[in-house]
């Protein structure tokens, strides 16, 4: 092999090594970029959505305050969340007023008027019942996660217990029946209401939050992985 060929071969090897090294650096940088996005995106989106929510509440509450009150509370600087704090205080005061005799009387009169309106009474009744069920301290709505064979035997689905079946539905079944909401993926706000015999349910130890994450992520995030990462 001539001296020129040796030099050419040596240069080619050097170029190959440099190329491999540059590709290795690029791969590492790409990995760092993806890792940075994975770490930063969730917290950034959470902070952004929280800020948007607080700003939205602040803007709505500000319209209810007289200008002098607004200037006294906010001054020259806007504090995100002050409107939310005012709203919470307002809800507490309304709740206190609603427990008094005068407050209960006003609520009864208002409900009497609403119940005389054809379409509005149905909407109001449904919304009120949902909120009373969810907010009641003794309610079992969405407090237990279960597995059930659905949509056929041998195939299991995740569901959330919303209560014990009562009334006419229970009267037509022999076994003790439980109301189970089976959500869809990835949108857990839609789903199916099933009346399932209690003996056919498998109660899970995971929390409702973990169950929702399991449904929304289509099984990518599961409680076992979360416990290992803690």
pLDDT of residue 63: 63
CB atoms < 10 A from the CB of 144, how many?
Answer: 20
């007289």: which residue's tokens? Answer: 66
pLDDT of residue 108: 80
* pTM of the predicted protein model: 0.48
CA distances (Å), 147 to each of 128, 184, 201, in order? 29, 14, 6
CATH topology of domain 144-229: SH3 type barrels. (2.30.30)
pLDDT of residue 23: 65
pLDDT of residue 204: 93
pLDDT of residue 137: 44
Ranges of the chain with pLDDT below 70: 1-23, 30-44, 46-47, 61-84, 87, 129-141, 224-230
Sequence length of the chain is 230
pLDDT of residue 161: 92
Looking from the CA of 104 toward its CB, the CA atoms found within 13 Å total: 3
Helix (H) or strand (E) holding 193: strand 191-197
Q: How far is CA 10 from the centre of its chain?
A: 61
CA distances (Å), 79 to each of 44, 54, 69, 70, 83, in order? 19, 9, 15, 12, 9
- Residue 170 tokens, joined: 């229970």
Residue 144: which of 161, 125, 157, 169 has the closest Cα? 161
Domain residues of the chain, as ranges?
1-99, 144-229
């Amino acid at each position: 092999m001539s001296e020129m060929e040796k030099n050419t071969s040596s240069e080619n090897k050097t170029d190959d090594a440099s190329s491999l090294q540059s590709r290795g650096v690029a791969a590492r940088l790409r990995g760092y970029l993806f890792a940075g996005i994975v770490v930063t995106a969730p917290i950034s989106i959470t902070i952004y959505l929280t800020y948007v929510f607080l700003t939205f509440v602040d803007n709505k509450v500000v319209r209810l305050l007289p200008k002098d009150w607004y200037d006294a509370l906010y001054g020259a600087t806007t504090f995100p969340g002050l409107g939310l704090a005012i709203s919470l205080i307002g809800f507490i005061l309304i709740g206190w007023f609603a427990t008094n005799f005068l407050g209960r009387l006003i609520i009864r009169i208002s409900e009497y008027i609403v119940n005389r309106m054809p379409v509005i009474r149905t909407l109001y009744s449904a919304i009120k019942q949902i909120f009373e069920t969810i907010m009641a301290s003794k309610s079992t709505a969405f407090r237990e996660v279960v597995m059930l064979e659905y949509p056929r035997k041998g195939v299991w689905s995740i569901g959330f217990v919303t209560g014990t079946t009562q009334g006419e539905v229970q009267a037509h079944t022999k076994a003790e029946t439980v109301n189970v909401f089976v959500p869809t993926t990835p949108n857990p706000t839609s789903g199916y209401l099933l009346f399932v015999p209690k003996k056919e349910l498998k109660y899970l130890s995971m929390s409702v939050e973990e169950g929702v994450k399991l449904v929304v992520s289509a099984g990518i995030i599961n409680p076992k992985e979360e416990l290992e990462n803690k």
